[in-house]
Amino acid sequence: MVSVTEQVVYVVDDDQGMLDSTVWLLESVGLKALPFTSGREFLDACDSRLNACVLLDVRMPGMGGLNVQEHMRSRDLHLPVIFVSGHADVPIVVRAFKAGAHDFIEKPYNEQLLLDSVLQALSKADHRQSLGEGPARVQARLQQLTPRERDVLLPLVQGYTNREIAEQLGVSVKTIDLYRARVMKRMAASHLPELVGMAIAAGLVDPLQLR
């Protein structure tokens, strides 16, 4: 029996090895982890009264993570969702954030990054989902970008490849690689999904207009 005051992390992943290692990681810092190998099993067991968040794999047989997220919303299961995926292309990331995801972390994940995200999600007293970075903080970082860096940022978060951006701006792919690295550093984004989330949170791009 799980206490309603206990911090719980629902872990949903069809990869048994990944599931076991994630549960072990969470339990090593004193968190209660409830593992599920399918989205339907999780939905049947999910209790929104708990002080909980959900670690949800994007690609699973039967019901994928995005579908699980939709079912959660339709059932009023308002728990912060952290997506974990080895296939973090921009359309998937955008769809997840539009639906209220708390975070999106790429596999293989950095353990400390995952734990930080989980603890941040659990610390939300009202369990409201957000885009992670505060808009004011993101706006401050955006102001530090040079015009050329901003030129690269916009198509990057819209889902264009480095080669496509190079063609748009009339420069080499190597130049775009350099600017992309500078944009990621200035925005303090560790991966592309995080950068997309920042751009949406700051109102820099309209999710409906992204690829």
Residue 199 has pLDDT above 60, yes or no: yes
State the fold for domain 135-209: Arc Repressor Mutant, subunit A (1.10.10)
- Tell me the pLDDT band of 130, cut-offs 50, 70 and 90: very low
Note the pLDDT of residue 97: 82
- Tell me the pLDDT band of 7, cut-offs 50, 70 and 90: confident
State the amino acid at position 151 in one-letter form. Answer: D
Q: Where are the domains of the chain?
A: 7-122, 135-209
Note the pLDDT of residue 127: 39
Express the helix, strand and coil content of the chain in percent, nearest 5 each.
50, 15, 35
Alpha helices in the chain (DSSP H): 16-28, 39-45, 65-74, 90-98, 111-122, 135-143, 147-157, 162-169, 173-186, 192-201
> Fold identical between 7-122 and 135-209?
no
Lowest mean pLDDT among 30-39, 86-95, 169-178: 86-95
Asked if residue 118 lies in contact with residue 9, where contact means CB atoms within 8 angstroms, the answer is yes
Residue 40 has pLDDT above 90, yes or no: yes
Taking residues 78-105, report their average pLDDT. 83
pLDDT-above-70 percentage for the chain: 89
Note the pLDDT of residue 109: 87
State the fold for domain 7-122: Rossmann fold (3.40.50)
Distance CA 205, CA 207 (A): 6
Mean of pLDDT over the chain: 84
Distance CA 167, CA 176 (A): 10
Q: pTM value?
A: 0.64
- Tell me the pLDDT band of 135, cut-offs 50, 70 and 90: low
Taking residues 185-194, report their average pLDDT. 85
| HSE-up (13 A, CA, CB side) for residue 149 | 16
Note the pLDDT of residue 126: 37
